[in-house]
A and B are shown apart, each in its own frame.
Chain A
Amino acid sequence: MVEISQIQAEARKIFDTYDVQYILGYSNESFGIQPVPFFAKKKPDVNHLIFSPFCVNNLTMYLKNYEGNEKIGIVVKGCDSRSLIQLIIEKRIPRENLVIIGISCGGVIDQKKFQTKFPDVIGSVDVVEKDDLFIFTIAGKKHQVSKKEVLLEKCIHCEYPTPLLYDVLLGEKKQPFKSESYSDVKQIEAKSLQEKWNFWEKQFSRCIRCYACRNICPVCFCKECSAEQLNPQWLRRSVTISENTVWHLTRALHVAGRCTGCGECERVCPMSIPLMLLNKKMLKEVKDLFEYTPGISVDAKPLLAAYKPDDPEDCII
């Protein structure tokens, strides 16, 4: 577990050594359980920086529209570091303009799961990590909860708890929890075509097309999105099953080979559409067919801008 004082000390060091515009981190200064993203612009701001297993947000999202030539400091967990690598691969931000504080993460807490367990909590909660347990201090009382019960789904299958790219690493290097088995994807794959459509029709018809999934996604950074383009208009505004399905297919294909599975889209979806099922399917196929995992190495080429002459050709007649 990472101490808050460690983060603050590192952030101060960064302000001393580099000319950074700001350091992106988390702070607890809001109402509610969840810490909020925080931009430390001056050295005294550093006192607000924290890290706890409640820090869910993927902060690399704020770098996707990066312009200019300023240095930026950022706090990343293992999963966020993969998004960051993907942004570097796609030349959104040069590596030399980043100062990265990596945090060896033991999993973050799903707010929905936490609130079903402790419905009365409204303020911020003290939490200590101990092996496979979280110890919450709520109103002076200690509660021991097994990690599995409150962790986000992605953390239970996390393969990279230690950041893959960092300048300073806080905490000890961790072993992955459990490797990804894609059991939920396989469950859907086993269904018949009609059953699959029945399932997805139910999901997609709930979509209100708020585009929160797109706005939060670190790799969705097109200046003009095809969803809003008017000439040609690929996608009409009406919220019908046809347009909704095509929106979700377009999104899934657009991030195929770029999505690192950080799960932010599903977390922010107001209608709780299981978007990660689509993303994970793409991750799985990309791994099986092209032996490619997005966001692992800064030297990799983007999947769909590269090819191998002996790529699988089963779909060709």
Chain B
Amino acid sequence: MTERFEPSILAFLCNWCSYAGADLAGTSRMQYPTNVKIIRVMCSGRVNPSFVLNAMQSGIDGVIIGGCHPGECHYNQGNYLTRRRITLLKLLLEYVGIDPRRVQMTWVSASEGGKFAEVMKKVTEEIRKLGPIQQIKRSNEW
């Protein structure tokens, strides 16, 4: 019997929209995969590409970054800035041969609990198919 691969997925969610969306999904009793671990950030613009790369080194198979819809950022421009950054990060990852689908970005507002659960399901399935990350995972302790 082969065991099903359970990916570990990290979600950086912005305090004002996506995190509240996740909260809504929870309070509305919506089911989404338990593979997703959430880190709350004050704004999606806080997410430095180093966070994503460091997560992958530590054995995280996929990263999701959730922010407010364009034009609705609590800090006016944070999600626009991170959009440029993550676009470049994904292109660079693809260029060196790491599947860019391991980094995903999504806009979820505070009222979109359903969308949040849907996106998490979709991404988990996608990463499950990709399998564990091999290229840049740390192999040693130090």
Contacts and interface: CB of A to CB of B under 8 A. Distances in A.
Interface of A: 188-189, 193-201, 226, 234, 236, 238, 240-243, 245-246, 249-250, 252-253, 256-257, 278, 281-282, 285-286, 289-290, 303-305, 307-309, 311-317
Interface string B83-102: 11111111111111111100
B59 to A, nearest CB: 10
Nearest to A204: B96
- Chain A residues touching B, majority SS: helix
A309 B80 contact: yes
Nearest to B105: A316
Which DSSP category, helix, strand, loop or mixed, fits chain B's interface? helix
Nearest to B90: A315
Given A198-B97, A311-B87, A313-B83, 12 more contacts: A193-B94, A196-B95, A236-B142, A245-B96, A246-B57, A250-B53, A253-B49, A278-B92, A281-B92, A285-B88, A290-B84, A311-B80
A242 B89 CA distance: 17
Contacts of B137: 242
Interface string B29-72: 00000000000000000000110011001000000000000110
Contacts of B91: 281, 285
A243 B140 CA distance: 11
B77 A253 contact: no
A311 B83 contact: yes
B71 A188 contact: no
Given A305-B81, A317-B119, A289 B135 contact: no
Contacts of A278: 92, 95-96
A256 B89 CA distance: 10
B97 A312 contact: no
A44 B123 CA distance: 68
